[in-house]
Amino acid sequence: MLDLLKRVQRELGLGVVLVTHDLGVVAETCDRVIVLYGGRIAEAGTTDSVFNRAQHPYTQRLLEAFPDVALSSERLVSIPGAPPRLNALTPGCRFAPRCHKVFEPCRSEVPAFWSVPGSDPEHLAACHLLDPRWEER
């Protein structure tokens, strides 16, 4: 099915939006990736850049939770807690209740999008860790 999609895309010059939880499919198929959490964009950029230089803690945990057949003895990482209920959202970053890097502003301020240093200019992440105001914390 993925091969067929790729062929149709190439032959007709189409853009294809693939919605999936399967990171292997993303790595194999997509030029660009947008990581969503709680209805918001957490991180976006070229697949190469996001997979190799993930900055948002949610993206990092997702990638760590992806099994690597070369490391069969390694335990997979899981993200504690549950996704937010969209009818009971809290202020600030929606990932804050589950984030292993949460700090003061996360529970009150919605993070802006920031460029990822050393990455392609299209690679952005919505996280206070990239906000220069909090560099000295």
Query: Which residues lie near ligand SF4 (CB under 6 A)?
Result: 56-57, 93, 95-96, 99, 101-102, 106, 111, 127-129
CB neighbour burial string for 50-59, b if at least 16 within 10 angstroms, e if fewer? bbebbbbbbb
> With respect to ligand SF4, which residue has the nearer C-beta, 35 or 96?
96
Query: Helix, strand, coil shares of the chain as percentages rounded to 5?
Result: 35, 15, 50
Strand partners, 114: 125
40-46 β-sheet, strand order: 32-37, 40-46, 124-126, 113-115
Least distance from C-beta 131 to ligand SF4, angstroms?
A: 8
> With respect to ligand SF4, which residue has the nearer C-beta, 31 or 135?
135
> With respect to ligand SF4, which residue has the nearer C-beta, 23 or 129?
129
Least distance from C-beta 1 to ligand SF4, angstroms?
A: 33
Least distance from C-beta 41 to ligand SF4, angstroms?
A: 12
